Amino acid sequence: MKSLAAKAFRSLTVEIDPLLVNFSSLSSLRRDPTFFWEEPDADWLLVGFGAAWNHQSAPGPERIVSAAEAGAEIFDQIVHLQNSDVPGPLLVGGFSFSDRKKTSSNSDAMTWSEFPSGLLVLPEITLQRRGTRAWISAVIPTSVSARSAEEIVREVIACLDDGSREFWMSSKDSQVTSNRDDLFQRLVKYAVTEVESGKLAKVVAARSALVETTADPWRVLDVLRRRYPSCAVYGVFRRSSVFVGASPELLVGLQSGKVTSHALAGTVDRGIDALADAELEDQLRYDPKELAEHQYVVQGLRRALHESGVTLDSPSQIEIVKLANVQHLSSSVSGHVPNSTGVLDLVDAVHPTPAVAGLPRTAALEWLAENERLDRGWYAGPIGWMDSALDGSFRVALRCALLEDGRARLFAGAGIVAGSRPDRELAETSAKLGAMFGALSAS
């Protein structure tokens, strides 16, 4: 154990009234937000403000590993000013889809300039609510008096208790200004020929849409959390840019040695009524193309986790996950990890999954780099949080938008396998884009 003098930070965590930790009060705090995370159905809310420390990974294959090492080291640099039976501060952040250096030069592209290849942040203030309990954590340098942490905690509690401001900001209707459907359909057509030639088993082609909007990020998050309560709703605030979304796909969750991942691949629309919805569900459940696409993801996840030393549980049954606008085939992959394994070690092992890249992984990534002509940035990358035990949860950043300077760049993708049709893949990605476009329009 290092002495206090050798440590870099002090942390104070205090349990507070859970009624204070609600979306409206958090959006009203007069502090710079860093990270937002809510799983409404799980009654789990996390918000970080400020940055006591951050790690930015350079592009390259070691970016997630370097972040994992830096995160473990910083947790060892914190002395806690309270009992160990309360949750302490968390590290939050994410990673871009690709580990390559950015090369996009599109004049109308939003460049992801504020989002490095990998980012972990230790917020100055972290508010957590799990069910009927809630906590606030403040992190300060050891060079500052411990009283400063107590003062920060008291100040934030007072602000939460004061109620919330009206954060609903007026905005004009969101309008799509760039949406090249023709280019995407040509990309899909070429991908199908590559699959049918045997060069690829599957590849995930993505597209984007540029939207003019003045929507307030907090209001967009509120719309998402209300419409998609089964998802993890997230927001990463970076100076003038905000990355928001609602992900239905758990990349890796690790808790006390138990790892869980969700294979989410195979998609169809929702029906206009219960009968039509059931018919579409049956179509999805028995569609050979959708089932093949799903099994690629399941097998890829199981292989990657097994190679990481995970003792896998028996395969689960395929289920149907119904969201507001689409329904997916879903399977759970779970197991037990060796004692020294952290959540980011597993993220590094499984990302990118066949659900967002393709198979074989290396060949699919090379094909995308040469043909997709889209800077995905953090779209389809890992996003989430990690605690001092190196447990945590990372989702695949889907159903998302990058908000910046009165514009929003929306992203969606579709898995291309043998038999894929450009018109159907266009329709699928349009439905996925609709989740975020609807949130922007409602803001």
Which amino acids are annotated catalytic?
A: 202, 249
User: Dihedrals φ, ψ of 375, to 5°?
Assistant: -80, 100
Helices (H), 308-411: 343-350, 361-371
Instruction: Read off the tokens for 6.
Output: 């050798």
Q: Which residues are paired to 250 by β-bridges?
A: 395
CB atoms within 10 A of CB 113: 13
Question: CB neighbours of 132 closer than 8 A, spacing ≥ 6?
Answer: 18
Burial of 128 (0-12, 13-18, 19+ CB in 10 A): buried
25 pairs with which residues across the strands? none
Contacts of 394 (CB under 8 A, 6+ apart): 94, 250, 251, 252, 253, 343, 344, 347, 382, 383, 384, 385
Distance from C-alpha of 356 to C-alpha of 94, rounded to nearest angstrom? 16
Distances (CA, A) of 141 to 2, 75, 83, 151, 283: 15, 13, 19, 14, 57
Q: Where are the beta strands (DSSP E) in 1-96?
A: 9-16, 33-39, 44-49, 53-57, 78-80, 91-95
Q: Which two tokens stand for residue 329?
A: 């085939």
What is the residue type of 10? Answer: R
Asked if 147 and 61 count as a contact pair (C-beta separation under 8 A), the reply is no
